[in-house]
Each structure stands twice: as structure tokens, then as C-alpha cells.
Amino acid sequence: MEKLIDGKAISEKLCESLKKKITTLKKSAITPCIALIKANDDPASEIYVSKKEALAKSIGIESRVYKFQPGIKQDFLEELINNLNNDPAVHAILLQLPIAKNLDSKKLINLISPEKDVDGLTSINQGRLFAGEDCVVPCTPQGVLHLIHSVRQNISGMYAVVLGRSVIVGRPMISLLLNNNCSVTALHSKSENVAEICSNADILVSAVGRPKFVTKDFIKPGAIVIDVGINRIQTPDGKKKIVGDVDFDNVWDSVGAITPVPKGVGPMTVAYLMSNTVDLAINQNKKKLNLI
């Protein structure tokens, strides 16, 4: 078993399989299409949207990008989302977070049709996931689960610990692991005995946004460790560096398998954004594809 979980290579393999699906869909005059909405002046968001746009183009997905600066009105974005909901050529809608502070992100997200909610963030899709029903699953947790399965396909009965309880990663990750018959503990900023609890985990998923927070004393020997954290730090020589939540070098000898940062979870998130877009395009064209 490879100790390093290469998210970049695994995501590329997933995208190759998506290309084949998209080619088949285009033979039926269906081109999967995603609308990306950016409403902030955050440089990181600009990079993320550009990466999503580039990957979509490379595998044959159409992308429509809407970029707005802070000061854009809430009602304007609400009208845009409603128009995209009603456009049959658009199969997926993503509101890039965070958005400008003057905007109500939860209201905007819940305006997105659950059938076009590509990152599974509407309350309806979140509720369906919690209930174990068919739904659109958030992209990052899907990517994490794929990486776990790349190490061990059957995780039923394993003990998993999730560090973090965000709506985007932590909470849906907990539901996904429960739906895969894991025993799950959720830890967060108010939890006590964090290292001790983590040290019993067969699977440890960290999404707390604290650089090198997870050290060797958190790790059960042989554990699968998935690092969702993306933290920008300054090195002693003044350079900027991206590191995860996990102190990679410190835990390396203890883990059974671990994702790096970068090139771990990040590429899987974008790949599953594309995968969800393709699935939504298929679901919205079942009649045309003779699937009903």
C-alpha cells in the first residue's frame, strides 16, 4: 500500500472518466454546463474560480462565469440565480464562498434549485444527506471519501474522527462516514482531550484551519489521515508557504496513509465539482437519454 495518497493523480483519473461521459452526452446534444458566481474581491477566490473554469474547459464542460465586486446588490444576485434556475441549458450553479459581507450567503444559496445545487449546500440537500437519502453531496467531503476508499474500499465498522464542524466540510463529512457505516466522533474548538480521542481513530479527517495542529500524539499507528486544511504561513526566511492542518513530517512514520498539502484534497474538490455537474446534467435530461 502506498503511504502517500496522491490526490492529484487520483483526480486526473476521475477527470479522464468524466471526459468519456461528456463525449457520450454530447452525442445526445447535451453539454454539461456550470454557472460560477463570484461576488467578492478575494484574490484566493479569483484563483479558485479560474482553476474551476480551466478544468471545466479541459474536459468539455461549458462554464459561465459571473464576477461581481463588493457593493453588488442582494436583489441583483437573487434575480441572477432565479434566471439560472430557469435556464435549461445550465445544469449546475455554484456560489463561490466567501461572498461580500453586505450579502446574505445562506439566502442566496437556498435560492439555488436543489437539482442545480452543485456543491450540495442548500438546506434541502443537507437534510437529505443527513437522512441518508439521494442528494447532491458537497464536493470536498466526496473527494475525501474517494481518497479514503483509494486506501481501503470497505470502511464499515472503522472508527473515524472528524476535526471541524463547518457546513462545507465537517458536518457533511460526518454524515458521509456514518452512511458508510463508520463509528464517528466530531471534534471542534470547544472539545476537550482532542489528541487523546484522535489517537484512537482508524480514519482521521482534519478540517480546522490551524497550521500543523495535528502532531504525532494525535495519530493511531497505521491510521488513514486526510488533511483538508489549507493554511498560508510565512517561513523563517520570509517566504510564504501553504501547509495543512497536519504536521506532515512529524506524523509520517506513524500513519498508514496520508494526503499531502497541496496536491491532496484540493484537486479532488474541483474534480468532484465537475463530476457533480455531469451527474446533474444527466439527471435533468433523463427523458432525453431514455433513462425514465
Q: Annotated active-site positions, please?
A: 52, 96, 119
Write the CA distances from 176 to 118, 157, 179, integer angstroms.
17, 13, 5
Closest to 163 measured CA to CA, from 195, 190, 186: 186
SS3 of 227-256: the string is ECCCEEEECCCCCEEEECCECHHHHCCCCC
Report the C-alpha gap between 205 and 148 in whole angstroms: 10
Does the bond joining 172 to the residue before it have cis omega, within 30 degrees of 0? no
Closest to 177 measured CA to CA, from 206, 214, 136, 148: 148
